[in-house]
Amino acid sequence: MTENYRIFGVNGPVVTVLGRTALSMNEMVFVGEKRLLAEVIRVDPDRAVIQVYEETGGLRPGEPVEPTGAPMSITLGPGLLGGIFDGVANPLKAIADENGAFIPAGVHVESLGGEAWDVTMKIAAGDEVLPGQVFAECAETGAITHKSMIPPDVRGRVVSAKPDGSYTVADALAVVEDAKGGRHEIRLAQRWPIKNPRPVARRLSLTKPLITGQRVVDTFFPIAKGGAAAIPGGFGTGKTMMQHQLAKWCDADIIIYIGCGERGNEMTDALSEFRKLIDPKSGKPLMDRTVLIANTSNMPVAAREASIYTGITMAEYYRDMGYNVAMMADSTSRWAEAMREISGRLEEMPADEGFPAYLPSRLSEFYERAGYTENLNGTEGSVSVIGAVSPQGADFSEPVTQNTKRFTRCFWALDKSLAYARHYPAINWNDSYSEYTGELSRWYAEEVGEDFIACRNELMTILAEENSLMEIVKLIGSDVLPDDQKLTIETARVIRVGFLQQNAFHKDDTFVEPVKQLKMMRVILYLHHKCRDIIARQIPISEIIKKGLFDKLVQIKYDVPNDRLELFDGYYQLIDTALSGLN
C-alpha cells in the first residue's frame, strides 16, 4: 500500500503537492475525494505538480492524492472498434447510460466492457512464445478480426492454455513462464502506457500510397502508408470536412479519428454517419473499422493532450496485428494550446507566442510514431497520421504550423479564398507539397499507369503557368493575351473546376479510384494538346471554345459513373469529331 499525499494548491487544471514525494514523472494519480484522473508533470525537491484530466471545481487543499505507481496507461483489446471514447479512453456510451446526457467529473468506466468473445486459440501448452506473437483471434466486428498478442515484454514457454471458447477480456487465457521462472497470465486485453511508442522489429521504407479517392490528394499531393501529413487552414476552410472524407474513404484497414478540442456536434455527426455509411470494400458499416476519440472543446483541457496519445497508442496496437491504420487528429493546434495553457500555469519561460520551448520536440515525438513497420510478430503494418492544424488568424507563420511542417512530409494548405468561392477541397495547389511523390512514383507507374506521373506533372505545369498569367490578367484583363496563353487559362479552368474540385455529397464524385483519376487527366491533356496544335495553325481559340468541349470535360466527374469507365472512349471521339471541322 503506497502512501497517499495531500493537495496543497489548486490553479485551474494544475494541482500541487508539497514536500519531497515518491511520485515519478508522468505517473498516473487520482486526485481528491472524487478521484479525478491526473498525471504528474513536474517533480521538484519541495513539491510535485500534477495536471488533472477533469474539472477541478470543488477541490480543497488537504484532499488526498493517490499514487498508482504506473504511468498513464490504457487498456487495449477487442471492443475498441465501433466505440467512442473520451481523451483518457472512458467509453462515452457507457457514461451516457449511467449518467445521462451530461458528463460529471470523477467518472471512470473500464474502456472494454464485459462482453464475451468467440475466441480461437493459436497456442497450446508447451509452445514457445515470443513478444508480439498472436495467441488468439476473435471477430471483433463484422469487418475486422482481432488478433490478441503476447505483450511486448513477455517471452517464454506456455505452461497452460485454455481451449477455444467464449471469453471476456478479463479471463486469463494462458500462462507463460519466462526464462527466469516468472509466470505471466495472458489475457485478451493488455495495458500500455500511452506516451511510450509500442516496439517494432524494424522500420521499412514507404512505398505504397494511402489511397484516399480525393483527386487533389492522390494525384497531386499523395501521402504514403506510414506517412504523416498536415492540413493547416483557417476556420471555415474545410479541415474537418477533409478529415471526415479521408476517414470515410481512405484505403486503410482501421481508422482512429480524434476530435481534439473540437465541436461536439461534429463528433455526433461522425458517429451517426459512420454507422450509416457502408464501406465499399467490406460491405459493413464504416464504424466497424473505426474508433472515435472525442475530447470536445468544453471538456477538460489536460485530457486534450492525452487524447492524442491515446489515439496513437490504439493505432499502434492495431498496426502490430498487421493492419494498415490511418489516424486523423482534428486539431493538433488545440493540443498545442493545451500545452501552452498548462505551461503558463507552471510559469515556465515561454518561447514563440507563449508556446513552451518543448513544443517542437513534443510534435516531432508524436509524428515519428507514424511509420511503415515490420512488427515483432513478423507481419507488416503501418500507422499514417493526418493532423489538422488551426493557425490563429489563418497565419501559417505561427509556431504550430511551422513546427508541424518540419515533421510532416506532406502539407495540404487550405486556402480561404478557395473556400469563399466554395471550391472544395480548398487545397491550394501552389502552397501545398508532398515529399512522398518520388517514393511513390514507382507504385503509380506499376499499379495505375506508366504515364500517371507524367500526366500529373503536366497538369501541375499548366496550373503554374496559369498562376503567373493571372498576374497579368488581374492588371489588364484576359482579352489581350495571345491565343496559346488563353488556352492555358481555359485548360487550367477545366483542371480546377473539373478535376481538383470534388463534390463530397455526390455519390460518384465523393470517392474516385486512381484509374479514373488517370483517365480524367488523359482526356483533359488530349484536348489540350489537340487545341494547341489547332491554335498553332492560326485558328482562333474562340472557334474552339464555341464547341463547348471544355464545359463537357468539366462535367466528366458527374457524367462518367465510377463503374462505367469505358465511357471515357466516347470523349476522344467527341473531341475528334468536334475539332475536325476546324482544319
Partner 1 sequence: MIIEHLGLTRINGSLVVLDGIRGAAYNEMAELRLDNGTSRTGRVVQIDGERVVIQVFEGTKGISLVNTRTRMSGRPMTLGLSPEIVGRVFDGLGRPSDGLGEVFPLVRRDINGLPINPVSRIYPRNYINTGISSIDCLTTLIRGQKLPIFSGSGMKHNELAVQIVRQASISDGDNFAVVFAAMGVKNDVADYFRRSFERSNVMNKVVMFLNRANDPIIERIMTPKVALTAAEYLAFDLDYNVLVILTDMTSYAEALREFSSSKGEIPGRKGFPGYLYSDFASIYERAGIIEGKKGSVTQIPILTMPNDDITNPVPDLTGYITEGQIVLDRTLDTTGVYPPVSILPSLSRLMKDGIGAGYTREDHSMLANQLFSAYARVQEARSLAGVIGEDELSDADKLLLKFGAEFEARFITQGPNENRSIEQTLDLGWRLLSMLPREQLDRVDDKTIEKYYKKF
Q: Minimum distance from CB of 382 to partner 1 (Å)?
A: 28
Q: Which of 114, 180, 205, 475 binds partner 1 (CB under 8 A)?
A: 475
CA distance linking residue 1 with residue 38, whole number of Å = 19
- Is the Cβ of residue 120 or residue 272 nearer to partner 1 in the bound state? 272
For cell 519466462, what's the residue? 178
92 binds partner 1 (CB under 8 A): yes
- Is the Cβ of residue 115 or residue 435 nearer to partner 1 in the bound state? 115
Close Cβ partners of 507 (under 8 Å, ≥ 6 residues apart) = none
Phi, psi of 476 (to 5 degrees): -130, 5
CA angle (199, 322, 87) in 5-degree steps: 65
The pattern of x and - marking residues 259 through 278 that bind partner 1 according to CB under 8 A reads x-x-xxx-xxx-xx------
Q: Minimum distance from CB of 400 to partner 1 (Å)?
A: 12
Strand, coil or helix: what is 67?
strand
Q: Compute the Cα dihedral for 52, 56, 58, 59 and give only its sign.
A: positive
Q: Minimum distance from CB of 8 to partner 1 (Å)?
A: 5
Q: Which of 27, 305, 320, 337 binds partner 1 (CB under 8 A)?
A: 337
> Could you tell me which of 542, 560, 407 has the C-alpha nearest to residue 486?
542
CA distance linking residue 504 with residue 425, whole number of Å = 9
- Is the Cβ of residue 12 or residue 71 nearer to partner 1 in the bound state? 12
- Is the Cβ of residue 55 or residue 288 nearer to partner 1 in the bound state? 55
Q: Side-chain half-sphere of 207: how many Cα atoms within 13 Å?
A: 10
Strand, coil or helix: what is 457?
helix
The DSSP 8-state label assigned to residue 565 in this structure reads G
58 binds partner 1 (CB under 8 A): yes
- Is the Cβ of residue 44 or residue 353 nearer to partner 1 in the bound state? 353
Window of 224-232, 391-399, 402-410, 445-453 that interacts with partner 1 by CB under 8 A: 391-399
- Is the Cβ of residue 104 or residue 165 nearer to partner 1 in the bound state? 104
Cell of 102: 451530461
The pattern of x and - marking residues 117 through 156 that bind partner 1 according to CB under 8 A reads ----------------------------------------
CA distance linking residue 573 with residue 549, whole number of Å = 12
CA angle (97, 103, 107) in 5-degree steps: 80
415 binds partner 1 (CB under 8 A): no
Cell of 5: 499525499
Q: Minimum distance from CB of 498 to partner 1 (Å)?
A: 9
Please measure the distance between the N-terminal and C-terminal CA atoms of the chain and give it in whole angstroms: 93
Cell of 478: 484576359
Q: Minimum distance from CB of 420 to partner 1 (Å)?
A: 4
Scanning residues 199 to 258, which ones bind partner 1 (CB under 8 A)?
234-236
Q: Which of 125, 277, 421, 472 binds partner 1 (CB under 8 A)?
A: 421
299 binds partner 1 (CB under 8 A): yes
558 binds partner 1 (CB under 8 A): yes
569 binds partner 1 (CB under 8 A): no
Scanning residues 152 to 171, which ones bind partner 1 (CB under 8 A)?
none
- Is the Cβ of residue 281 or residue 507 nearer to partner 1 in the bound state? 507
Scanning residues 504 to 533, which ones bind partner 1 (CB under 8 A)?
505
The pattern of x and - marking residues 454 through 473 that bind partner 1 according to CB under 8 A reads -------------------x
DSSP letter string over 346-377? TTPPB-GGG-BTTHHHHHHHHHTT-EEEE-TT
Cell of 423: 471550391
Scanning residues 7 to 36, which ones bind partner 1 (CB under 8 A)?
8-12, 16, 18
- Is the Cβ of residue 27 or residue 337 nearer to partner 1 in the bound state? 337
Strand, coil or helix: what is 224?
strand
490 binds partner 1 (CB under 8 A): no
Q: Which of 115, 128, 353, 484 binds partner 1 (CB under 8 A)?
A: 353
Q: Which of 25, 96, 278, 567 binds partner 1 (CB under 8 A)?
A: 96
CA angle (323, 327, 333) in 5-degree steps: 165
What is the strand order of the sheet 117-121 is part of? 145-149, 134-139, 117-121, 165-167
Q: Which of 93, 108, 162, 284 binds partner 1 (CB under 8 A)?
A: 93
420 binds partner 1 (CB under 8 A): yes
350 binds partner 1 (CB under 8 A): yes
Q: Minimum distance from CB of 271 to partner 1 (Å)?
A: 7
Close Cβ partners of 243 (under 8 Å, ≥ 6 residues apart) = 231, 257, 328, 330, 386, 388
Q: Minimum distance from CB of 558 to partner 1 (Å)?
A: 7
> Could you tell me which of 573, 544, 570 has the C-alpha nearest to residue 559?
570
DSSP letter string over 68-98? EEEESEEEESTT-TT-EE-TT--BHHHHHHH
378 binds partner 1 (CB under 8 A): no
